[in-house]
Structure 1
């Protein structure tokens, strides 16, 4: 049985409703990563012009049959993800140390992140086409340019970039060490556990590398005082294709992001909530 900090109040907060919201959020995240991976593969193999980021994924989804309904579903699912992280911020997460300040702070950061993502997707579904499908590259450069103009902005951009890069390294290490296993339900068959390990390790490492690279570009933008060095997800992924490994490295990263999408979908069934 899972242990929750805060006694019965915490258990009530992490009841059926929050568990359902969390699973909807994991499903929505999985769909987005699968779409981003598909767009990245097109860039690697066909030199496609689509945005391999959240905006491109939402646009791709909207062009499918019943696309607007699907976009609404993903947006609502992401709201569920945000509410789950909010409940962890307020009541603590699962486990004997779930109430520690550090874990609550991490959940708060995740809550803010998924709230922003959910808001952009919902805005797109509601008809603001420039919102959910906006380029993360343009958003990154515009935000970096604004912050660089602030007093101490150069230091702030560098700190945020270093934080994102550190988060990428952290994600990579946790995936490689299979830290996610502590959150999985008991009763998985050996074959299922091996499959989840392939998805979790391969997907998490690829996702971590992308975060680390994006953070590094933000630091470069701060050091050079040039917002053009800041890159969103799309430009970060395209950079992998510009390495000596060529499009094959981007292909490998894209496959890894697809694995992470499948891992998120697997967590809908196997994550202990």
Structure 2
């Protein structure tokens, strides 16, 4: 009985917290952070496509770009707060469900949990960068994971499974964009603004899905060829687009799509549904 009472009080306190104004502002701040990161990564990728890029087009490159600007340290701490908001959002949706008709299903909640873990990693990496421990590129992290996994029994199949999962997620994101399912997650958008938000959402999500799917293909190829160096993170995946027959223009097109997704994240920060939480 006592255990049930404690659990009930904890649940009540949790629901009260996620309904609070400050908590929802924190979640919206997280979406602003995501927008900033995608704008930076997209811009770095555009520079690479045009032959002017020196930084990696991934989180590590974006953090260095922020740190080099006046007030960079303060901006980095604000990004840390934003990543905390994104991580908490994922965990909150894992507990209470997403803002969709089937948002309480186990599949949706597991997806939110995974998103929370990813943004927790971003939170930790940004703190490590600020306190002086640096931030490894996504390519190096992917190759390290692949090499370690392949060194274990059955690790090659694990890497292949992760690669296929990334491809599946990338395809899912693209389908989500084409079917405009993201519209159900937004509210109170004026009729004049909605067409613009729709374009940002469709193009931005497609670009994001292409990068995820591309990273999955490269990871799967690394498993099949038993070569960890074939695995790539965001930066390496984007550079692979430039090596296609279309040349650097495909990279530029995808990079512009990432820029648009950054702008869409700002739209989400303004109009994302949050009332369902708790």
Q: Same fold (TM over 0.5)?
A: yes
Write out aligned runs for 1:86-101 (5 A). Answer: 86-101=91-106
Distance 1:19 1:156 in 2: 37
Q: CA deviation at 1:75?
A: 1.4
Q: 2:253 — aligned with what? A: 252
RMSD over aligned Cα, in angstroms? Answer: 1.7
Distance 1:106 1:28 in 2: 20
Q: 2:82 — aligned with what? A: 77
> CA 1:250–1:95 in structure 2 vs 1: closer, same or farther (change >3 Å)?
closer
When normalised by structure 1's length, the TM-score is 0.92
Q: CA deviation at 1:230?
A: 0.2
In structure 1, stretches of 5+ residues that fail to align are 1-5
Q: CA deviation at 1:47?
A: 4.2
Q: 1:264 — aligned with what? A: 265
Q: What's the CA shift string for 1:4-46, capped at 9, x where partnerless?
A: xx99974753442332121011000000000001100110112
1:110 paired residue among 111, 115, 126: 115
Q: What's the CA shift string for 1:34-72, capped at 9, x where partnerless?
A: 000110011011242210100000000110110011011
- 8 Å CA contact 2:200–2:264 kept in 1: the answer is yes
Q: CA deviation at 1:96?
A: 4.4
Q: Match of 1:194, SS?
A: helix
Aligned length: 264
Distance 2:109 2:20 in 1: 18
> CA 1:151–1:45 in structure 2 vs 1: closer, same or farther (change >3 Å)?
same
Q: Which runs of 4+ in 1 moved over 4 A?
A: 6-12
- 8 Å CA contact 2:18–2:24 kept in 1: the answer is no
Distance 2:13 2:71 in 1: 42
